[in-house]
Structure 1
Amino acid sequence: MTQGTSQGTNGESTWLGGGEGTEPHVDDRPLSAAASLGDDVLDEIAQRVLWTATAIVDAANRGRENTSGVKAGGHQASSASMVGIMTSLWFSELTSADRVSVKPHASPVLHAINYLLGDLDESYLPRLRELGGLQSYPSRRKDPDTVDFSTGSVGIGATAPIWAAMSHRYLRDRDQDMPAGGRFISLLGDAELDEGAVWEAITDPGVRQLGEITWIVDLNRQSLDRIIPDVQIKRLVGMFEAADWQVLTCTWGRRIEEVFARPGGELLRERLETMPNEEYQRLLRARPQELHERVLGGDAPAELERLLGEFEPREFAQVIRDLGGHDIGLLLETYEQIDDSRPTVVFAYTVKGRGLATEGHPQNHSAMITAEQLSELAELSGMDPEDPWHRFEPGSAAARRCEEAAARLARPAVPAPTPVDVPAELPWRPKAVGSTQAALGRVLSDLLRAAPDVAGRVVTLSPDVASSTNLGGWINKTGVWSVRDRTDWFADDAERVLKWTEGSGGQHIELGIAEVNLVCLAGELGATWSRWGRPLIPVATVYDPFVSRALEPWSYGMYAGGQSILVGTPSGVTLAPEGGAHQSITTPSIGLEQPECVAYEPAFTQDLEWCLLAAMARIGRPDGESAYFRLSTRPVVQALAAVPEDPMLRERRREQAVAGGYRLDDTTPGEEDVTLVGVGAIMPEVLAAAERLREFGVTAGVVCLTSPDLVFRSLQARGSLSGARAGGIVDVLFPEERRAPLVTVLDGHPHTLTFLAGVRGDRIASLGVSMFGQSSGMEDAHRLHAIDAESVVRAAYDLVGR
């Protein structure tokens, strides 16, 4: 009796099968995964892809030493169900202009195909999930072979081609030399359709016009833990059709369709299509000798019984496995039906684990076939387990097909992006009183006049909050971009404030209220420099309380190489009347912790201008990174910033603001009794507290942080592990000669700044927001959360012992 292994709850391998009635199929030997009709060469390649993908996972788990007790893992069954689909695409359908997102658990299939195409060195094949080897899931930046989209965040990678297609359209509207695009294809598992991100994407109004989008769903009707208990295809079809997608379905292969055409065939079709998913999966696990009885049931019509009698048990076992997703010829015929005027989804029925001894088992998700079963698969595939990576014989039909596909898929090198000089500051001074949120719109509008080349690369986007995040002036000057030009029915309305002219020349993209769509599009707009050599500067605005909702897909975008600027505004409890539902607490800490992103929270509008321009200069380049800005609607007197007039001192202030912060005091070394550290919109309270303390004879130094994130990085770089010397911004702000207790204050969670106690070993009192707020006036909100000036004074008094 053959067996397979699966990951148990304790992290050890468990066995599949082994009990009475659970024997696997077909005389203890796996069936070939190749279809019996169609292109024999493609079928041969598919079998080799199945072998190579399976051997990649096997080598990771059994082929190298592992002393950790943690198995390497991998997904042989999930890969096997995709073999026919991916073989049909890479070896017959795709062009060099196409871009494909591959479902996470099918990464071994992608690497197997790339190896057969000559795009991956053999040395990587035994190194799945090894340091410096192949990644666990497809990764654009970390895998050594061609990967178009990073996946692994279920549902997010599936939607990425939508936003890449939209980004390509945006570029084409601006650059006539932009290479023509091909198809943007997502290969996803049916369980991924449970993710809300998928439905947010397909229902966006702009998506329905992207005819270059094609999704192919691996409909194996199994998720990680179970067989999906209900037949959902009709519901899924209806949902896609309601979003105006073309829906194509590959249910049965051509061999079984011939059987359905025989007398009694419609009865067999009805029986198979009306049985529950679980019953069909059980047929796959039954011995061939049992299948006739299981399909007939208790009182089957005589015509159906006669039809089944025409087949030997092993032959009938092959027939019931003939699903459309494994019939390469049928898949190719289906691709010819794609309507280029709208997005298309293809539902391809498959068997999870097709061609493996574990196929169809309810717990085969991370199952490993045994060494004996691997040998049987090798025999079916014409391979030797001792020489697992042997390519097709030179000159053979399969080798020639691989060579033809490799030539067809060869891409020209991506041109190096043309750098653009972002100014360090703009020639106009900010208003006397203003908020950082209002200044955002001012900086973008002024950029059009001061640096049109830079402004031409900026594309703003928002989820229906453009006006409330102060993008109105920018939009009036640049217009709204849409996939197709639209009639402006309000052009003659004299009272209109925002001029929503929509067309191919706009620079703002307005999405529906879906933060996930927003950051996914921002990530792909921010990846155009590496995809096509055309850098853009995406600036996405969102209400700061909803940054958490958008965080995972935005983080995915950065992992995949997308560089963008996310502006969260309004923030904190300072927008007091809106109440707790619109008051962000944890976002300052989130910004500090996010890899490949600099988080800023400037207090003053001049600081925002400097930091935003610096962030733009870091977008769209190999060594670049994203940025997150936390802004406020609170009007602040800008004279409090005390920006120096002297050019040299002003430049020094700018450099420090961009680096993470600066001091706002006139104390001399040794005089400081306490240091007050503030961030963002709470700085007026910090400065008022410092003045109040001076009245009481307490000398307070004041530090204004523009980026706790960069200050923390400076502290980390000073550590012994990095070997860096002292002298970064952290030592400028907190020099040894000014040692004093610290009171830190921000409109966010207080733990964000507690790391400052480790700079010099100072005592610290951290003030901030650690509970849900409620509607109130701003002053009441600050008192409620103890971030008002009086609370700062009390904390300072406690620290200095007065």
Structure 2
Amino acid sequence: MTTGKMGRVEAIEALTRKSLWLASWMVHHANHIRPNVDGVKVGGHQASSASMAALLATLYFGILKPQDRVAVKPHAAPVFHAIQYLMGRQTRQKLIDFRAFGGAQSYPSRTKDTDDVDFSTGSVGLGVAFSAFASMVQDYVRAKDWARKDSLEGRMIALAGDAELDEGNIYECLLEGWKHGLRNCWWIIDYNRQSLDGVVREGLYDRIEAIFTAFGWTVVTLKYGALQRAAFAEPGGDRLKAWIDACPNALYSALMFRGGGAWRERLNDEIGDQGDVSALLARRSDDDLAALMANLGGHCVASLLEQFEAAGSDRPTVFIAYTVKGWGTPLAGHKDNHAGQMTSAQIAQLQDEHRIRTGHEWDLFEGLDQPEQLQAFLDTVPFNTMASRRLTSPAVPTIGPQFVGTGPTSTQAAFGKILDAIARTDSELARRIVTTSPDVTVSTNLGAWVNRRNLFAPQEMADLFQREAIPSTQKWRFGPDGQHMELGITEMNLFLMLGAAGLSHSLFGERLLPIGTLYDPFIARGLDALNYACYQDARFLLVATPSGVSLAGEGGAHQSISSPLIGMAQDGLASFEPAFADELAIIIDWAFDYIQRSGDARPDLADWPRDLTGGSVYLRLSTRSIDQVPRDVNCLLTNSVIGGAYWLKAPTPECEVVIAYQGVLASEAIAAAARLGGDRRSVAILAVTSADRLNAGWQAAQRSRLHGDKALSHIEKLLSDIPHRAGMVTAIDAHPATLGWLGSVLGHRTIALGVEHFGQTGTVHDLYRHFEIDAQAIATACRTITSKT
């Protein structure tokens, strides 16, 4: 047994071995020991965890500071949870329950794991790009005069598999990072040269290096470990190095799997000369030779420490770490090992190699020498602080709705005026807003805000058009005080930026109120990143405009149909589609409060109390101007707008039909009611501001009643005012399913009008008539449904 003082490298190597064992055992236990009551595959990634064991251990036990933030490769979750367990941030029971209900998650999750996850990962590539946007947001926050000055600057780090580089969003992110002067960002690529389905193509390294170099990144290659470098210095070592450099990926992986004897046979056949090289090989046993060839840079703690400590922060840095998939396990190198798992015999072999006694598989230091010294080392690890790394920031007070007049207007135009009114104020709310848009700033009505609040850049940049005295409505001054982050035309980057800014209070201790604008039909282009941002519980206001076939002249490619259904289905996102400017003013004021409500206590239940825990908000707006309703805004109207609906024309006991609309079809609904005889007592008009809020409230009330409560939802209360014999016609410039469910609430016969097919060019009236959502079609539907009474 080793005695004496344990060095830093030796301690990290021991903890690497322990992390590797715990990760392997965690997956084995979940799949082969824990009862599987439903027979469905549990899964896990022993090989992908093994290739990152040394990389993760070196970072967490040797390099990271508490202010650093890390996105861990999704398939390395088991080794991440093992490291958290060794530092006391994860419980044994969570490891035992890995991939079971309430246990450690399959992929690291900010919201569902109880250990110290900085960035959720799982949809590959997104966590990598997210780290870059987090770095940009950190620079934004630190440039502000209101930001705390005692916080330390952290590195935003992502550990990625080489196959993740197939994801296009990574390259969109690289371009955006170059534009914004990205710094303080490390990406560490687990270059094990294997993907889910096989071995990666030859020459990938050269492409990776060239791409990152082109975008201004520092490229650090971690190819050879200390054992290999020492061997290269021996006589004949240059020929061994040349052979390694020329060896195809598939052959290297195959020889890793076959072991030391196969290495010796191949090397003797190809470079053995009965001289220096043969002597170099002969001095090593088969086991020593296998260890030498496995000693790539990504597995060598001494080499990793050296390169990580030498890296700077002023430029983004990518570390290309050569590794072996399945390193240190019987699965090492096999092309099928991605989802493969060790057999009982193989796990027993690994258990024997790690000196793990039966019944002690979960013990912290089982099989390791000098546990007291290891614990003492862990106690001094800079990252191993028991203080919470989830920071907090006080909520920013709202300033009340900003009403913008009663003349004809569109909700998109009203949004610009509301934001401009906020920009004019000297409020903390105005200072904390940060806007961003994928090259559609002007066309989504952010221009006035940007003119007053400027664009962000680390250094001052003058508007050359102003300097040259060229007239322009846009005063595009860049500077550290700017509050708009301009992006290129990529919705993925928009949602990643919103996600990073929407976590600023937790990551950097300073609250931002992010607002992102984009064209409504192109939400789908970034939907994976939007879902990812919501899954992290990031908080932001998403303004999508223009919407629907109301954008008549642009044609089907720019007209949205299904986006309201996305708003209803997306967890963590409250969706609204107001028709009138006063409704929009109410919703925006409420949204600034809603996105700041604490999400820390959010239970993972279908009926979680949304209004207590908050979330992000999505507004679907239109470019079509409609006449506004002159009225006083009172508490009842305000609460109803936020609740999701109110009576624009209240029902009477004689009511025969209800016209329920959402959004810009308000004008058509009002006109239809007039055609039916608007002064009669038989027609009611229900103004729906949020099908999402109405549906969520209805679903929650039904679940409550299943448990014996007497809850009534907002929509149930509204519809209880109309006779059961009355019919209902719903209308929306979107898919009719958005509102079609309203008839199910209390059993009213319903006709749902909407758009189910791609749009086309024309006038608004042409398209409304074509899709039968105009006033005449609504009136006809009303007559049809009342004739069946």
Secondary structure of 1:100's match? strand
622-631 or 169-178, which deviates more: 169-178
Secondary structure of 1:434's match? coil
**Which amino acid in the other structure matches residue 738 of structure 1?**
P
Contact kept, 8 Å, 1:423 with 1:451, in 2: the verdict is no
**Which amino acid in the other structure matches residue 721 of structure 1?**
L
Secondary structure of 1:792's match? helix
Using the alignment, how far apart are the partners of 2:723 and 2:434 within structure 1? Answer: 44
1:414 Cα shift?
5.0
Using the alignment, how far apart are the partners of 2:651 and 2:741 within structure 1? Answer: 24
Q: What is the match of residue 517 of structure 2?
A: 541
Contact kept, 8 Å, 1:479 with 1:506, in 2: the verdict is yes
1:790 Cα shift?
1.4
Matching of residues 50-129 of structure 1 within 5 Å: 50-129=20-99
Q: What is the match of residue 435 of structure 1?
A: 410
Contact kept, 8 Å, 1:118 with 1:406, in 2: the verdict is no
Which residue of the other structure, out of 292, 311, 329, is the alignment partner of 1:338? 311
Is 1:675 paired with 2:650?
Answer: no
Is 1:625 paired with 2:611?
Answer: no
Is 1:653 paired with 2:637?
Answer: yes
Contact kept, 8 Å, 1:529 with 1:621, in 2: the verdict is no
Q: What is the match of residue 257 of structure 2?
A: 285
Contact kept, 8 Å, 2:716 with 2:746, in 1: the verdict is no
1:330 Cα shift?
0.6
Q: What is the match of residue 688 of structure 1?
A: 671
Matching of residues 155-554 of structure 1 within 5 Å: 155-174=125-144, 175-178=146-149, 179-205=151-177, 209-297=181-269, 304=277, 307-392=280-365, 396-405=372-381, 409-411=385-387, 414=390, 416-426=392-402, 428-449=403-424, 452-492=427-467, 493-554=469-530
Which residue of the other structure, out of 719, 728, 739, is the alignment partner of 1:734? 719
Q: What is the match of residue 149 of structure 1?
A: 119
Is 1:616 paired with 2:592?
Answer: yes
Using the alignment, how far apart are the partners of 1:180 and 1:306 within structure 2? Answer: 53
Using the alignment, how far apart are the partners of 1:211 and 1:753 within structure 2? Answer: 47
Which residue of the other structure, out of 599, 614, 618, is the alignment partner of 2:575? 599
Contact kept, 8 Å, 2:75 with 2:107, in 1: the verdict is yes
Secondary structure of 2:315's match? coil
Using the alignment, how far apart are the partners of 1:338 and 1:177 within structure 2? Answer: 27
**Which amino acid in the other structure matches residue 214 of structure 1?**
W
1:429 Cα shift?
4.0
**Cα distance change, pair 103–723 in 1 and its aligned pair in 2 (3 A):** farther
Secondary structure of 1:490's match? helix
Matching of residues 32-43 of structure 1 within 5 Å: 39-43=9-13
Using the alignment, how far apart are the partners of 1:796 and 1:737 within structure 2? Answer: 15
1:209 Cα shift?
2.3
1:371 Cα shift?
3.0
**Which amino acid in the other structure matches residue 787 of structure 2?**
G
Deviation string for 1:330-379 (max 9, x for gaps)?
Answer: 11111133232210000001001101111111111122223333233233
Is 1:586 paired with 2:562?
Answer: yes
546-555 or 282-291, which deviates more: 282-291
**Cα distance change, pair 299–370 in 1 and its aligned pair in 2 (3 A):** closer
1:283 Cα shift?
0.8
Secondary structure of 1:584's match? coil
Using the alignment, how far apart are the partners of 1:160 and 1:282 within structure 2? Answer: 34
Which residue of the other structure, out of 767, 784, 787, is the alignment partner of 1:798? 784
Contact kept, 8 Å, 1:246 with 1:339, in 2: the verdict is no
Which residue of the other structure, out of 747, 750, 758, is the alignment partner of 1:764? 750
1:382 Cα shift?
3.2
Secondary structure of 2:70's match? strand
Cα RMSD over matched residues? 2.2
**Which amino acid in the other structure matches residue 459 of structure 1?**
V
740-749 or 715-724, which deviates more: 715-724
1:225 Cα shift?
1.7
Using the alignment, how far apart are the partners of 1:701 and 1:736 within structure 2? Answer: 10
Contact kept, 8 Å, 2:502 with 2:513, in 1: the verdict is yes
Using the alignment, how far apart are the partners of 1:695 and 1:505 within structure 2? Answer: 53
Q: What is the match of residue 553 of structure 2?
A: 577
Percent pairwise identity: 37
Which runs of no fewer than 5 residues in structure 1 stay unpaired? 1-36
Deviation string for 1:287-318 (max 9, x for gaps)?
Answer: 43333333455797666556544443332222
**Which amino acid in the other structure matches residue 443 of structure 1?**
I
450-459 or 183-192, which deviates more: 450-459
**Which amino acid in the other structure matches residue 523 of structure 2?**
V
1:406 Cα shift?
5.9
255-264 or 68-77, which deviates more: 255-264
Matching of residues 704-715 of structure 1 within 5 Å: 704-715=687-698
Using the alignment, how far apart are the partners of 2:178 and 2:480 within structure 1? Answer: 13
TM-score by length of 1: 0.90
Q: What is the match of residue 22 of structure 1?
A: none
Secondary structure of 2:158's match? strand
Contact kept, 8 Å, 1:229 with 1:278, in 2: the verdict is no
Secondary structure of 1:368's match? coil
Secondary structure of 2:465's match? coil
Which runs of no fewer than 5 residues in structure 2 stay unpaired? 1-6, 599-612
Deviation string for 1:167-188 (max 9, x for gaps)?
Answer: 2222222234241222111011
**Which amino acid in the other structure matches residue 505 of structure 1?**
D
**Which amino acid in the other structure matches residue 279 of structure 1?**
L
1:557 Cα shift?
1.1
Q: What is the match of residue 725 of structure 1?
A: 710
Contact kept, 8 Å, 1:201 with 1:207, in 2: the verdict is no
Contact kept, 8 Å, 2:391 with 2:507, in 1: the verdict is no
1:243 Cα shift?
0.8
Q: What is the match of residue 17 of structure 1?
A: none
Deviation string for 1:593-647 (max 9, x for gaps)?
Answer: 11111100001111111111111111123122111110000011113xx53x3x6
Contact kept, 8 Å, 1:663 with 1:703, in 2: the verdict is yes
1:131 Cα shift?
1.5
1:232 Cα shift?
0.2
Using the alignment, how far apart are the partners of 2:678 and 2:641 within structure 1? Answer: 29
Using the alignment, how far apart are the partners of 2:274 and 2:392 within structure 1? Answer: 70
Using the alignment, how far apart are the partners of 1:607 and 1:206 within structure 2? Answer: 40
Using the alignment, how far apart are the partners of 1:413 and 1:345 within structure 2? Answer: 25
Using the alignment, how far apart are the partners of 1:761 and 1:302 within structure 2? Answer: 90
**Cα distance change, pair 238–385 in 1 and its aligned pair in 2 (3 A):** farther
Secondary structure of 1:430's match? coil
**Cα distance change, pair 205–323 in 1 and its aligned pair in 2 (3 A):** closer
Contact kept, 8 Å, 2:87 with 2:384, in 1: the verdict is no
Using the alignment, how far apart are the partners of 1:697 and 1:445 within structure 2? Answer: 41
569-578 or 690-699, which deviates more: 690-699
Using the alignment, how far apart are the partners of 2:680 and 2:409 within structure 1? Answer: 32
1:39 Cα shift?
2.4
**Which amino acid in the other structure matches residue 657 of structure 1?**
V
1:321 Cα shift?
1.3
Using the alignment, how far apart are the partners of 2:761 and 2:43 within structure 1? Answer: 50
Contact kept, 8 Å, 2:73 with 2:159, in 1: the verdict is yes
